[in-house]
Every structure is written in C-alpha cells, then in structure tokens.
Chains A and B, each alone.
Chain A
C-alpha cells in the first residue's frame, strides 16, 4: 500500500480505511482478551490515532525503515504484519517477532521496514538518525521515519537527532502524533509550545501541522516530506493533531479526564468521520462496510486460532541471542 507520487487516490483511501478498521477491531479484541485475563495487558491503546499512523505510512515506500511510536498497533497493520504475529507477541508465543524478549514495545520485522521502538522514550530519535545516516551513505533512496508523541518531543534526544539530521541533510522524517497527553500530564502544563512543529524552525527544517484525522492531509504532508528527504534536502517534521480516545494503558482509570470529557471524545471518534467521508465519495456503502467488517472479523478469528495453536516460548529462549558471536 503506497502511492507516494500522490495525490491520494481512491483505492489507497479505501485501503487506509480498511487497515485502520482492522487495527481498531484487533485492538478492541485484544482489550477484551486482556480484560478477561487471556492476554498480557501491556498494550498502550492507539484508538483515535490509527488514521494518522496508517495514512503516513501509506505515503511512504513499503521498505522505508520505521521506528514506530508508543500508541497502538496500526503501524504494524499498515506495514502488513499478520495479526496472528501481534497476538503471539502479546501472548509470548512462538510466531511472535521477538519471542518474549521485548514484547509489544519491540515488535520487529526488518523485511517490512519495522525496526522496533525504544522502550525508553526518545531513543527512537537517535537510532532513527543513525538509520537515516546508513540509508544516505548506502544510497538506498529510503527515508527513515521516526514516530513520536508530543510528550516524547520533550526528551533531549529529540534535539540532538533533529539537529544532527538537519546539519547532515539526512533522509529522516520526524512524524509527531500530538494527542496532548503524556500519560496523565497535559501538554498545557508540560510543553511550552502549542505546536510541536514550531520546534522544527530551531533546526532549519520545515515543520507542518495537519489534522491527523484527515487521511488526505496526513498523506500529502508526509509524501511532501519524503520527497524532500529523497531529494537530499534533509529532514522534515510533520505534526498530526490527534486524540487519544483511551487511557495510557489498559485499565487506566484516567482520573485526569472527566467522564464527560471521555464521553465527548468517543463521540468525536475520527473513524466515524472517515467512514462518512468515504460514503460521501461513493467509495463505501452499507453492504461494502458489512463485507469489510465480516472479512476483518474472520481475519481476527483466524489469528486468534493461530495464536492458540502456537506454543509458549520455551524458557531457555531467555538465554539466547544476547551476542552475535
């Protein structure tokens, strides 16, 4: 799924919706299973941020290396990681990508351009800068995309990596999902700027703000930043304004948000707006949506069956692969 030459075509628009919906339904099912005690409840839910994640990746090449962000699983779905591998990751089973070593913080599949995530926030920036350096020196034409949240932009590594990528004109793309929250701390009390994109000016790189719930806006801003990076003109920052519909972790009681606020959020669920937009464009109707939901439900059921069949990673695995030699 990619159409970097843009503009966003209808087929890609529908495919973005399909992957967002798969990510949403899979996450909902994971939450059900976790609450029932059937899976480890370690996921940071990404509901509300799927469109930004999937549309951004749709605008990049499928082998552009990605350091993904902290929220949800749409990054992996966008890159085509099979849902059963995600379930195996949460269940610490064979068939997962890291076999219980790193869990969902360290999902990895270099062939799909999934290079993992730093468990300590901010690590993505500097590792991503090194990835961009390698792509440039090896003349691969690839762009390293670094996903991060508004909260993580307050880590010092953001400054070090943004400055370095800019001064060496590396093919990096800093993609910020600004949901206004760092766990329980509002950006209003933690972050001196309203727009993280304003920080790009400090590194002489373009910084743009887009509505993260608008797939077309995200797609076009990302495609433009990628074109610039591939042309050798250096990094850019794209900031997608999004909303975190759920708490920081599964079971987060969210004392920092009122019940009314949380209800209002759910009513603003961007997937509803995306669906209405597709209907208005004649790209989706009741029967197509029902078919899509049915296909996704079957896919998830099959993934669950595969996860149940898979064996728990053997304890001896804990001792393996610290060193290459």
Chain B
C-alpha cells in the first residue's frame, strides 16, 4: 500500500473519515467537534461530509457525552465520543469507569459496547486540569481497552482498530504529537490492539516509553549510541490489552528495564510494569528497574515548571547511562 507523509492529526481525521464511509453506524460527537472541527483542528471537514446526524457538537456535558456513547453502543451504533481533554475522564468518571468499563459485565454480556472515547492528553501550558496523562487510572479499570498512538501511522491504525472493536476503547491522543508528520498508509490501515513494537534495537537495556516520552527516548537513544550504548526501545502502543511478551523478550535480551512516563510516579504504568517483571522476568533482570516519571505533584501551568517535572532527554540519557554502566 502506498504511503505518504501526513501529520498525526490528519491521520486521526483520515481514520475517522474512512471508518465512517465504511460503516454507517459510526457517529462522532463531543464538544466543538462539528463546526470547529475539534479544538486541535484534527476533525476538519467531517461534519460537512457526514452531516449533522453523524457528526455533532454536544453541550459541555461530559457525563452525557460518555453515557450517551454507552447507551447508543448498546443499541447498535458505533459511537466515537470525544472528551476535549483527557483529564475529563474524571468529570465523566461514572460513565467511563462504571459504565463503559462495567456495563457489559454487570449484564453478563447482554450488550456489546463498540464505543471509542478519544481524548487528548499531556502537553504544555494548559494547566493542571488540562495536561494530565490518565492512562494508569484507566489501566486499573477492567473492561476498558486503551490505545496510545505515538506515530501518525499508529494514530490512524489504532483508531481504526478501536472503532472496529466491540469493546470500549479509550484512545489517548497526545497533544504535542498532533503536528508531527510521518509516513501513513493511504488506504485502510488497521493496527491490531495489544501489540507492542520495538522502535529501536539494542542490547544494553530496554526502555519502555510511549507518545511524547517515546520521541524523547528515541532522541536519547541516538545520543547514547554515540557513546557506544545501544538501548532497545519498546513502544507498548496499548496498555489494555498489554503485550507482555514483546517486553519480556526484550528484557530477556538486555537484562535491564527503564520506564519513562509522562504521569505521576506512584502506581503509574511503570509500577505495573515493574511488578510484571518481578513476577515473570525476575531471573532475566540483572539490574533493578528504573522509573522516570512526574514526581508526585500536579502538572503546573508555566511551561518551564512543567519542564522541571517531566522527564527530558538529558534525564533519560543519564538514567540509561547509569543503568547500562
């Protein structure tokens, strides 16, 4: 299939347009998604192509946005609901955790819930209630699939897979990646949920990172290579299902693991990965797990204060160097 360079934001738009053309049950709604085309511009033109019944603006009503997605999915539609910022999963916590997460189970499978919640996470200068990466909270809840695209191709492929899934899927779109360009297949492109990918091969240690932290890690890896340290970089792409096998194979080879995440340290994704390695790779590790994360404070508004908290390339290089040493 031919590919060309488009942005992560354009890839999201393309996945939505292709899936909506393919399946009339797919609808899209949320705050500012229709006329505005999404506040990050990633939905431009969808309302014009698909009309007001299938692409519409909602009131500022996050409980309604997610609850209606659950209700509509239980009756045969395939809604794609947008939470304007990923932090808003907590505004709609009942509907995200108790309904999307549990509605199928509590009714013993009477319903399938083919719904997607798209939500932009991370970033700078949006303030503490508009900058968080809530993936660890979501990962704790049974019943919700979680996709974390890091490249434009994955933005398209994972979103398409999420729309075709018969389970609720939260797709966290990282705000700093919307403008990032990369090769994306032109036609239908579906990446199966739950498969990690090794972004760079190496044997000194394994670094797990995703979204903006992945790109910082790849920059750090290039710098480390200049020092003769070849790190292996694993992009999990999904946290539920989580591809443990790819991670375990990498750790078997390298014997060490560093997790880099743009979220709070305590009980973060890195903590879960650490526990997984203790249970399933204790004999393969010859050095302790390392985690780089936001120390347990809220994400401030001023960009230079955010920079003081979020792992940066220098910190990744330093931690990797110590671990490789």
Q: Are A131 and B27 in contact (CB under 8 A)?
A: no
Q: How many chain A residues touch B (Cβ–Cβ < 8 Å)? A: 47
- Which B residue sits closest to A156, measured CB to CB? B63
**Pick from A99, A133, A168: contact of B71, CB under 8 Å:** A133
A65 within 8 A of B: yes
- Which B residue sits closest to A106, measured CB to CB? B106
Given A101-B107, A321-B104, does the pair A127, B67 have CB atoms closer than 8 Å?
yes
Q: Are B107 and A167 in contact (CB under 8 A)?
A: no
Q: Are A133 and B106 in contact (CB under 8 A)?
A: no
B244 within 8 A of A: no
Flag A7-28 by CB within 8 Å of B: 1 or 0 each: 0000000000000000000000
B283 within 8 A of A: no
**Pick from A126, A128, A134, A163: contact of B95, CB under 8 Å:** A126
Task: Please name all residues of chain A whose beta carbon is closer than 8 Å to the beta carbon of B291 when the two chains form the complex.
Answer: none
Task: Please name all residues of chain B whose beta carbon is closer than 8 Å to the beta carbon of A125 when the two chains form the complex.
Answer: 67
A131, A137, A317, A323: residue with the most chain B Cβ atoms closer than 10 Å = A323
Q: How far is the CB of B239 from chain A (nearest CB, A)?
A: 14
A206 within 8 A of B: no
Given A123-B67, A164-B61, A325-B165, does the pair A134, B76 have CB atoms closer than 8 Å?
yes
For the complex of A and B, the 8 pairs showing the least CB-CB separation, nearest first, are A130-B71, A126-B67, A130-B68, A102-B106, A134-B75, A321-B109, A160-B61, A324-B166
**Which A residues form the contact surface with B (CB < 8 A)?**
65, 97-99, 101-102, 105-106, 108-110, 115-116, 118-120, 122-123, 125-135, 137-138, 144, 156-157, 160-161, 163-164, 167-168, 317, 320-325
**Which B residues form the contact surface with A (CB < 8 A)?**
27, 53-54, 56, 58-59, 61, 63-64, 66-77, 79, 94-95, 98-99, 103-114, 142-143, 145, 165-167
Q: Beyond A108-B108, A163-B59: 18 further Cβ-contacts under 8 Å?
A: A102-B105, A102-B108, A106-B107, A116-B107, A116-B110, A122-B94, A126-B64, A127-B70, A137-B72, A138-B77, A157-B67, A157-B94, A161-B68, A167-B59, A320-B108, A320-B109, A321-B108, A325-B167
